[in-house]
């Protein structure tokens, strides 16, 4: 993509990940100067502000918007970008960076900012869970429970997340559910039901190793409660081997309805969404224009 002379709005969430470092703005500006791009940096003032900034960017003359934050910020920018039909880029600053890792976006601010100008626009799939937009991975059950608890904590980061997950694992039980995938309905029990557009939650935890953001399919992984001694399950998740696990049942779908016998916690792209008993999930094929590094596109792994 020839970005010379283009106007770019960077939407920065200072509260994403482990916090803001002042050099972030400098790295963004340096990359833009190097590539002869006119840039504006705006900081989000509250949850939801990024949606508004992205939505109004086009009418203010910007050619594309860039989310600087974690999956929550990316999700908000995408909501605005979808409404305004403006392409968006990503500079990962979250704690997990699931979508950024899947898209092969560099994890340092300087490299990610430079890679924006050696990228192409990909029309990626998105989906909705009870009308909430999801770009990456959403889940019902134990991952939703953890997202709800973790969302209320002020001290975040990978260590806090792992500690909370281990503490809550023993008490959380499998739940009964009825799943309708396209036109097939079956009853099951699950500990987690993950709906994936990209392959991973973040930190390379691949819950749906075969997922692609442009295959016009959702990847559904039903996970059983894994006995605590089966540490090989965690190893498989981080090495992309869950497809062979006897604890996982994987499906591909365009639309999904899940009904549970009691209210179950869920999350959308890691953001806590409370509890519900019915989940209507719909694919939006090729809906979002996202800047993806040319290096990733050349590999053909998306």
Instruction: Give the footprint of ligand ATP on this chain (CB under 6 A).
Output: 13, 15-17, 44-47, 49, 69-73, 76, 94-97, 156, 202, 270-271
- Non-local CB neighbours of 182 within 8 Å, separated by 6+ positions: 253, 254, 255
Nearer to ligand ATP, 97 or 119 (CB): 97
Nearer to ligand ATP, 15 or 172 (CB): 15
Buried b (16+ CB within 10 A) or exposed e, 80-113: bbbebebbbbbbbbbbbbbbbbbbbbbeebbebb
Helices vs strands, H then E, count in the chain? 9, 14
Nearer to ligand ATP, 177 or 207 (CB): 207
Nearer to ligand ATP, 46 or 171 (CB): 46
Q: What is the DSSP letter of 172?
A: -
Nearer to ligand ATP, 37 or 213 (CB): 213
Nearest distance from C-beta of residue 109 to ligand ATP, angstroms: 14
Backbone angles phi, psi at 228, to 5 degrees: -60, -25
Nearest distance from C-beta of residue 72 to ligand ATP, angstroms: 2
By beta-carbon distance, which residue lies closest to ligand ATP? 70
Nearest distance from C-beta of residue 74 to ligand ATP, angstroms: 7
Q: Residue 104 to residues 15, 83, 233, 299, 302: CA-CA distances in angstroms?
A: 23, 25, 25, 10, 9
Nearest distance from C-beta of residue 102 to ligand ATP, angstroms: 12
Nearest distance from C-beta of residue 203 to ligand ATP, angstroms: 9
H-run or E-run covering 29:
helix 23-34
Distance CA 203, CA 200 (A): 8
């Amino acid at each position: 993509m020839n970005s010379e002379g283009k106007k770019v709005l960077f939407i920065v969430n200072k509260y994403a990940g482990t916090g803001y470092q002042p050099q972030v703005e400098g790295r963004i500006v340096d990359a833009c100067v190097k590539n002869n791009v006119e840039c504006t940096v705006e900081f989000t003032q509250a949850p939801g502000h990024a949606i508004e900034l992205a939505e109004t960017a086009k009418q203010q003359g910007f050619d594309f918007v860039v989310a600087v934050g974690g999956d929550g910020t990316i999700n908000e920018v995408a909501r605005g970008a979808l409404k305004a039909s403006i392409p968006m880029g990503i500079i990962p600053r979250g704690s997990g960076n699931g979508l950024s890792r899947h898209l092969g976006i560099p994890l340092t601010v300087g490299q990610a900012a430079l890679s924006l100008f050696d990228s192409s626009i990909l029309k990626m799939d998105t989906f909705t869970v009870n009308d909430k937009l999801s770009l990456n991975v959403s889940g019902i059950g134990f991952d939703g429970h953890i997202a709800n608890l973790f969302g209320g904590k002020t001290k975040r980061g990978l260590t806090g997340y792992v500690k909370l997950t281990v503490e809550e694992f023993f008490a959380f039980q499998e739940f009964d559910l009825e799943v309708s995938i396209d036109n097939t309905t079956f009853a099951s029990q699950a500990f987690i039901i993950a709906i994936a557009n990209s392959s991973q939650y973040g930190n390379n935890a691949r819950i749906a190793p075969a997922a692609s953001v442009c295959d016009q399919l959702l990847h559904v992984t039903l996970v059983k409660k894994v006995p605590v001694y089966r540490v090989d399950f965690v190893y498989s998740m981080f090495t992309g081997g869950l497809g062979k696990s006897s604890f996982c049942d994987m499906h591909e779908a365009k639309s999904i309805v899940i009904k549970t016998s009691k209210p179950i916690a869920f999350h959308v792209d890691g953001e806590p969404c409370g509890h519900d008993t019915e989940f209507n999930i719909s694919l939006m094929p090729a809906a979002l224009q996202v800047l993806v590094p040319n290096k990733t596109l050349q590999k053909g792994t998306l």
